[in-house]
Structure 1
Amino acid sequence: MYDFLIVGAGLYGAVIAREALLKGKKVLIIDKRNHIGGNIYTENIEGINVHCYGAHIFHTSDKAIWEYAQQFAEFNNYINSPVANYRGEIFNLPFNMNTFNKMWGVITPEQALKKINEQRTEIKCDPTNLEEQAISLVGKDIYQKLIKGYTEKQWGRNCKDLPATIIRRLPVRFIYDNNYFNDRYQGIPIGGYTAMIQNMIKGADIILNEDYLKKRNEWDSKAKKIIYTGPIDAYFEYKYGPLEYRSVRFETEIINQTNYQGNAVVNYTDIETKYTRIIEHKHFEFGTQDKTVISREYSSEWKKGDEPYYPVNDEKNSKLYLEYKELSKKEKNVIFGGRLGEYRYYDMDKVIDSALKKCKIIL
């Protein structure tokens, strides 16, 4: 009999496993995929650690969380500085003085702010949707070129139909600084995230290619407590209907050249280009390999059988999630956690923090 059965070998489950093992608990981890690591899984292709489920840059301002992650991997000093390609024009992200200079020819913060203020006047009251929020933040020009097309591809909805909250986390700076994140600590584990997860779950029993929901009773009998990190609505057999997600499809290609696009992340912000961005993985670890590996990302509406990526946290889905959350409270020996178990967008540092807080309760 195991003390814990952890459903899902992603970051949340790995933290729980690590802390339980340190307490001398017996842990079994199962995952329906054929690998550990969840969505931060990296695979070595042509000597390059490929982020198979999209770019993952670890960043945090929490020193304790940074030091916790450092136990399992040495991190490099990669700084996330994506660029946007709008019909062949290149702009720096996040929105900063370099962006404003390219867009309008302005040089000083005062000039940039004046331009934005001129363009935001059409928003007369508090923004009620993403379009209004974006224009109020950075003006109409930047919204039209760098936000509208990308966002509508990513979410499959008109910006006027998306909540303003989605864009509020977008950094806007009046300095010449292309560092996307404001966090003090930032980097990528040298050797990839898979090796980091391996170090975290060392000592646990691991079974892959196993779908917990197909043999739930059998798996439940093997442990005193279940940590469930899968979709909460699937656990309850979609009793109230499915929650909505956005999914992502990747086209990964090995290219026989040393440098394809000169940057790890290039966003394509026009509506005509069907993919949202291209990732060139070698740049995450400053690779010098003879070949390169790129991934084109295509956003799509989630349907059953697809991999769920981004919760659609609008009013309808948030209300539906609360109904499932109430059901989850009745499951005495099951703990729901992580991005899918809690139906929320989580940065990696917040995943670790959430899991560590749960450990204080259950261990």
Structure 2
Amino acid sequence: MYDYLIVGAGLYGSVFAHEMKKAGKKCLVIDKRSHIGGNVYTREAEDINVHEYGAHIFHTDNKAVWEYMNSFADFNRFTNEPIAIYRDEIYNLPFNMNTFHQMWGIRTPEEARRIIKEQVEAERISEPKNLEEQALSLVGRDIYEKLIKGYTEKQWGKKATELPAFIIKRLPMRFIYSNNYFNDRYQGIPVGGYTRIVERLLEGTEVILNADFLKDREQYSKSAKKIVFTGMIDEYFNYEHGELEYRSLRFQHEVLDTDNYQGSAVVNYTEYEVPYTRIIEHKHFEFGTQPKTVITREYPEKWEQGCEPYYPVNDARNNEIYAKYRQMADNEKGVLFAGRLGEYRYYDMHHIVQRALEMAVLEKEA
């Protein structure tokens, strides 16, 4: 008999398991994938740590979370400075003075503010009814058409006019010459990859891979006093109130016989006609000098049962459905629902670590 059965060997499950083991609890961690780490899993190819499920750049303002993660690995000083390509034009992200200079040839914040203000006023949108109108009312026509429209429509699989305005309540614009994507104080990549961190988190804890909890629910449920479930909450309840909507991704990895393919870890492709949203060149996350390189193209896809869910679609309809599942979850004795899928909410890695630590504290006090 285990104290906790933890369904999911990703970052949340691994942090929680580590903390409960320190508290003297016996845990079993299972995962239906063939590896630990969940979406932060990294594997080695050509002596390069490849982010198997897309770019994962750790960033946070939470000093305690940063120090916690650094206790399991050394983090380098990688700063996320992505590039955007629109047709034959190249722009820096996030929207900053470099972007505005590239777009309009201007040099001062005053000039940039004037152009954006003129374009916003020309749209004459007082109450945005959809994402397109919301974006136009924030940044004007040029930035929207070149850097937002196509990328967003690919990402969500819908026209911008069909997406709700609240998806982009604000668009950060910086009137300084800085390409640092995140404002967070702490940022970096673990030297040696994320899998090494998860291995250390799970050290001394029993782990079973290729194990599907929902297919053997009765057997697994008898094995522990409590269950921590990090899978899809609607699937746990057999879709009783209908399916929640997600967006999925497809990753196309390729080894190239060159030492440097694109000169940047992350390059976004913002025109709709290019089917992928971005290309990741993994060696740049750790400033690699290997003779070959590995790139990954990311293709957003519609989610269907059997696909991997990556992004919850938190519109009004889905949030209403989730509220019903949340009520069922609150009444499910001995089961804790957690993580991006268990809580049907988008979390960055630092949020996941923080929430796992918080739940561990609550369980120790219970």
Which bin holds the TM-score, normalised by the shorter protein? over 0.9
8 Å contact kept, 1:123–1:135: no
RMSD after superposition: 1.0
Q: 1:4 to 1:312 in 2, by over 3 A?
A: same
* Farther off after superposition, 168-177 or 25-34: 168-177
* Farther off after superposition, 156-165 or 257-266: 156-165
1:347 maps to: 348
2:233 maps to: 232
2:84 maps to: 84
1:23 maps to: 23
Q: Which residue type is aligned with residue 99 of structure 2?
A: T
Within 5 Å, give how 1:194-273 maps onto structure 2: 194-273=195-274
1:150 maps to: 151
- Structure 1 runs, 4 residues or longer, greater than 3 Å off: none
Q: 1:144 to 1:220 in 2, by over 3 A?
A: same
Q: Which residue type is aligned with residue 314 of structure 2?
A: N
Post-superposition Cα deviations, 1:220-277, rounded to whole Å, max 9, x if no partner, equal 1111110000000000011111100000001100000000000000000001101111
8 Å contact kept, 2:125–2:137: no
What is the rounded CA distance, in whole Å, between the counterparts of 1:108 and 1:139 in structure 2?
18
8 Å contact kept, 1:94–1:170: no
TM-score (normalizing by structure 2):
0.98
Structure 1 residue 58 and structure 2 residue 51: aligned?
no
Q: Which runs of 5+ in 1 are unaligned?
A: none
Q: Which residue type is aligned with residue 79 of structure 1?
A: T
What is the rounded CA distance, in whole Å, between the counterparts of 1:176 and 1:30 in structure 2?
47
Within 5 Å, give how 1:162-173 maps onto structure 2: 162-168=163-169, 170-173=171-174
Q: Which residue type is aligned with residue 310 of structure 1?
A: Y
1:294 maps to: 295
What is the rounded CA distance, in whole Å, between the counterparts of 2:308 and 2:211 in structure 1?
15
Q: 1:193 to 1:169 in 2, by over 3 A?
A: farther
TM-score (normalizing by structure 1):
0.98
Q: How many residues end up aligned between the 2 structures? A: 363
2:284 maps to: 283
Shift of 1:169: 5.8
8 Å contact kept, 2:138–2:171: no
1:13 maps to: 13
Q: 1:123 to 1:61 in 2, by over 3 A?
A: farther
What is the rounded CA distance, in whole Å, between the counterparts of 1:10 and 1:53 in structure 2?
12
Counterpart secondary structure, 1:230: coil
Identity %: 62
What is the rounded CA distance, in whole Å, between the counterparts of 2:150 and 2:260 in structure 1?
27
1:338 maps to: 339
Q: Which runs of 5+ in 2 are unaligned?
A: none
